[in-house]
Structure 1
Amino acid sequence: MDMKKSTITVVGLGAGDLDQLPYGIYRKLTQASHLFLRTKEHPVVTQLTAEGIAMESFDEVYEQHESFADVYADIVERLFTAAETEGNLVYAVPGHPLVAERTVQLLLEQGEARGVQIEIGGGQSFIDPLFARLQIDPIEGFSLLDGTALKAHEIAVGLHTIIAQVYDAFVASDVKLTLMEVLPDDYQVTVATAVGVAGQERIETVPLYELDRLDHFGNLSLVYVPPTKEERISYRQFSYLKEIVEILRSPDGCPWDREQTHQSIRKNLIEETYEVLETIDDEDPDAMCEELGDLLMQIMLHSQMAAEEGYFTVDDVVAGLNEKLVRRHPHVFGEKSADDATEALANWQEIKAQEKAAKGIDVDNQSHLAGIPRDLPALMYAYKLQKKAAQIGFDWDDVADVYGKVEEEYRELREASEGERAGELGDLLFAVVNLARFLKLDPEEALAMTNKKFKRRFSYIEAKLKEAGRSFDETDLQEMDKWWEEAKHHERGGDGK
């Protein structure tokens, strides 16, 4: 014989006082044999108490936990326990049960498994009186967000945004800091408390930086963020970047941008990358920010061209990257573990091998030198070739042997005929790259340092000529060499070492 399920009937106390409460909800509240409240901090509760209605609130639960998630879980567990022992009960929440009420969602998720029927008894949310009070037309688009778990990526600056559950100044402070990731500090926002409740309603519009300084936050408080099309805000939105690039490539856009192809701007991608590297070497964060933007523009252009051809969009690029990052970091997003960088790299390499196999690539029959981008600069390409070969034991045993190889290739270059010099020079450079690898140096970085050093010393010579009011035609190699040595002396701190 089936046992009859206990029932938890969830009703909403609305956004105002008792006069605004539907009669049906009022009857459920007054006739309930067991009435529980998420919080007694509500105008309707004050009036029900005056009428002698017995009820039990969960306000003390908020004091027992450090996070709202734990608070809500505890409240739900207590409700299920009460339903199992006391039978049917009524659970009243502010506003509407299905608007910004996490405890209700938890009840609905767990009710069947706990053998308790959950019924939604209705109620009025805070949204209707708020729209009326602020004269907002929701057809323009609006977003309702949870102030206790607000994330910057959730904020759409072009929509009316309502942030609920801003219970106190601490939540308001978190909301402020999150909004500041998207909006200027002086952006005007509105805090509304107890909208439509006579004698309790308070509505204030303040600059964002003053949001948490107001003194009327409570269970009936929320923050309204108006939509904007201000350039200083729109310019920070990735969606606006997509729109700009699409316009540039449109028939009404820029003639130059319209004419470009993947191949025509191919070199730009390389040039912009090297400009970013220059800002890294210069330790110039402002320049880096700008140059990373230029590099991103190349990615956006290639993605837009591909979208026009029906191949993929920039959203597909982002989706593929996100999926790959999660898949290749099982020690972060999955069940595996990695205590150090070596283990993390091993996980990464293992998953890359699995990905190749899934694509039909026979890893066992693939060359050990496969996987190096063929358009890398020759110095970097040589370095990666040697590293891959070394992984399977094709390598020198001792650095002395490498020095010997460099000396051998140098002699062969000196003895080479004119037609052999290019090949012999390449052999010498390849041997030097090997030496760099043995010394645990990046040959590209080492050469870049020497290039900078040469440029710095040559600039010293130019400065000396300028001081003397002379040109290169009016000096000789001996004098320039003297200044070169002076430049070296200054670089070494003047001690001649």
Structure 2
Amino acid sequence: MKSEITILGLGAGDLDQLPLGVYKKLKQASLCLVRTMEHPVINELSAEGVIFESFDHIYQKHEMFEKVYEEISETLLSRAEREPVIYAVPGHPMVAEKTVQLLLENGPERDISIKIDGGQSFLDPLFKALKIDPIDGFQLLDGTALSKDDLHTNQHMIIGQVYDSFVASDVKLTLMEKLPDDHEVYIVKAAGSKEEVIKKVILYELDRQMEELSNLTSVYVPPVENEVYRYKEFSKLREIIAVLRSPNGCPWDKKQTHKSLKPYLIEEAYELIDAIDDEDDDGMIGELGDVLLQVMLHSQIAEDEGMFTVDDVIEGISAKMVRRHPHVFGNVQVEGTEDVLENWQRIKAEERAEEGNTEKSLLDGVGRALPSLIRGFELQKRAANVGFDWKDVSGAWDKVKEEISELEIEFNKQHNTDDIKNELGDLFFALVNVSRFYGIQAEEAMNATNRKFYNRFTYIESLVKQSGKPFSDYTLEELDRFWEQAKAKGY
């Protein structure tokens, strides 16, 4: 006889909801294995003489539900290799039943036939009990594996598998990452049965109000009505940007182009750098938002023109990150940062070759719009990768001294502004080379010095202002003493 497991659904409530065919098979079974005895039908059928054997004891053995389900399914498969098995689960076998999915996945590999027979899902009586129409959009989520990224707060959310207070607490904390603490939710038990209970509670009290938890307990979260609570969702941001660019949107946003937005992107990037340097978390939130706004505006402009969408942008960067990190998402072995960077450059070159974008020069990939100090750093790094570099920093230092000498010569000449500019450029480039040897980005070093100068000079300004005299009344020596004071105070 071929090995076989027949899976029956016990429905969502009491015996009145059980399909007749399922009832007959349960009555005819000499023994029925059940995931849990916690179901009203089991009590009624036991009274009619049906013998059940449960897996409740396995829940006590493991901390993770995955392990519980794995052991139950393995026990069932092993037993089916000896004799036909009748296995019953709450609700419908194909709704929120991980053990059934494991049996369907692993049974055929062991030549075990898996048959699914009826049972009423808890969803129909739940919709009826709550008086909601699923056509409006709903989510069925697993309370034991709930993630805030799964939540769509503009839809009806039904969270099942809320077995105990620990799961209820995790559900509450996850929901509170997107919803206000006082959002109203509903605890629903045994919907459609004689034991039906619907209890409205405030979200932050969810785990305190679930006194009697069972396999028939679900949490219902109504859609949010206040759009402010959707501001954390990417879909809402996308919707807002689309409205701003729509015919009835903002005149300024509607007239923007990729080119007109270029200055704003640069400005927002540098304002973010300021917030990072200030270690200002709130400032970073705001400035990162402004940078993201630029990404969204450019993507919306492209979508309006039929070129691409923000989905294409996200797909592109996701694919690139997976492709260029084979040591994380694949089976490539690396030993340290150097291997990672080498793999990155090799994969990048392969991508360009496949796209037909082979560069005439190794330096062609360095952006021409980069700030000059950053571009100089990147040009030098590209050249260094193929061996065009000083052996150590001493060579770079000697070059700095050479450029200073050449600059001094030009200073002593007359009417030679262009030559002085050229020599200044050479000196800056040589200093960038020194900073590269020390692993310092010259642009960041210069930015830090600008900030330092700003802080010290504004300190001098404050002292001058306090004195009631104008700057012109102070000698350079006096102002320099103020500078030293600012320096001593750590400005």
TM over 0.5: yes
Task: Give the Å deviation of 1:395.
Answer: 2.1
Equivalent residue, structure 1, for 2:443: 444
With over 3 angstroms needed to count, the CA separation of the structure-2 counterparts of 1:5 and 1:385, relative to structure 1, is: same
Task: Give the Å deviation of 1:337.
Answer: 3.1
With over 3 angstroms needed to count, the CA separation of the structure-2 counterparts of 1:391 and 1:6, relative to structure 1, is: closer
Equivalent residue, structure 2, for 1:204: 199
AA aligned opposite 2:134: P
Q: Which secondary structure does the structure 2 equivalent of 1:454 belong to?
A: helix
* Inter-partner Cα distance in structure 2 for 1:452 and 1:24: 79
Equivalent residue, structure 2, for 1:379: 373
TM-score, with structure 1 as normaliser: 0.93
Task: Give the Å deviation of 1:25.
Answer: 1.4
With over 3 angstroms needed to count, the CA separation of the structure-2 counterparts of 1:491 and 1:53, relative to structure 1, is: closer
Task: Give the Å deviation of 1:471.
Answer: 2.1
Does residue 26 (structure 1) correspond to residue 23 (structure 2)? The answer is: yes
With over 3 angstroms needed to count, the CA separation of the structure-2 counterparts of 1:86 and 1:396, relative to structure 1, is: closer
Equivalent residue, structure 2, for 1:453: 452
Task: Give the Å deviation of 1:119.
Answer: 2.0
For residues 97-136 of structure 1, the aligned pairs below 5 Å read: 97-136=93-132
In structure 1, stretches of 5+ residues that fail to align are: 493-497
Q: Which secondary structure does the structure 2 equivalent of 1:265 belong to?
A: helix
Deviations 1:273-315 (A, max 9, x none): 0000000000000011011101100000000011111111001
Q: How many aligned positions are there? A: 485
* Inter-partner Cα distance in structure 1 for 2:125 and 2:417: 89
Does residue 38 (structure 1) correspond to residue 38 (structure 2)? The answer is: no
**Larger deviation: 141-150 or 475-484?**
475-484
AA aligned opposite 2:201: V
AA aligned opposite 1:76: S
With over 3 angstroms needed to count, the CA separation of the structure-2 counterparts of 1:307 and 1:275, relative to structure 1, is: same
Equivalent residue, structure 2, for 1:495: none
Equivalent residue, structure 1, for 2:413: none
For residues 6-155 of structure 1, the aligned pairs below 5 Å read: 6-87=3-84, 89-155=85-151
**Larger deviation: 311-320 or 184-193?**
184-193
Equivalent residue, structure 2, for 1:389: 383
Could you tell me which of 402, 408, 414 is aligned with 2:402? 408
Q: Which secondary structure does the structure 2 equivalent of 1:273 belong to?
A: helix
Task: Give the Å deviation of 1:247.
Answer: 0.9
* Inter-partner Cα distance in structure 2 for 1:419 and 1:196: 88
Does residue 216 (structure 1) correspond to residue 212 (structure 2)? The answer is: yes
* Inter-partner Cα distance in structure 1 for 2:153 and 2:437: 54
Deviations 1:380-415 (A, max 9, x none): 111121222222222223444433322222222222
TM-score, with structure 2 as normaliser: 0.94
Percent identity over the alignment? Answer: 55
**Alignment check: 8 A CA contact 2:31 2:50 kept:** no
Task: Give the Å deviation of 1:339.
Answer: 5.0
With over 3 angstroms needed to count, the CA separation of the structure-2 counterparts of 1:236 and 1:439, relative to structure 1, is: closer
Does residue 275 (structure 1) correspond to residue 271 (structure 2)? The answer is: yes
Does residue 367 (structure 1) correspond to residue 361 (structure 2)? The answer is: yes
* Inter-partner Cα distance in structure 2 for 1:202 and 1:338: 57
Equivalent residue, structure 2, for 1:239: 235
* Inter-partner Cα distance in structure 2 for 1:489 and 1:73: 66
Does residue 248 (structure 1) correspond to residue 247 (structure 2)? The answer is: no
**Alignment check: 8 A CA contact 2:190 2:216 kept:** yes
* Inter-partner Cα distance in structure 2 for 1:97 and 1:167: 17
Task: Give the Å deviation of 1:163.
Answer: 0.5
With over 3 angstroms needed to count, the CA separation of the structure-2 counterparts of 1:339 and 1:171, relative to structure 1, is: farther
In structure 2, stretches of 5+ residues that fail to align are: 411-415
Deviations 1:81-138 (A, max 9, x none): 2222113x32111011111111222222233332222222111111122111111111
With over 3 angstroms needed to count, the CA separation of the structure-2 counterparts of 1:22 and 1:437, relative to structure 1, is: closer
With over 3 angstroms needed to count, the CA separation of the structure-2 counterparts of 1:115 and 1:395, relative to structure 1, is: closer
With over 3 angstroms needed to count, the CA separation of the structure-2 counterparts of 1:133 and 1:466, relative to structure 1, is: same
Equivalent residue, structure 1, for 2:171: 175
Q: Which secondary structure does the structure 2 equivalent of 1:85 belong to?
A: coil
RMSD of aligned alpha carbons: 1.9
* Inter-partner Cα distance in structure 1 for 2:361 and 2:275: 36
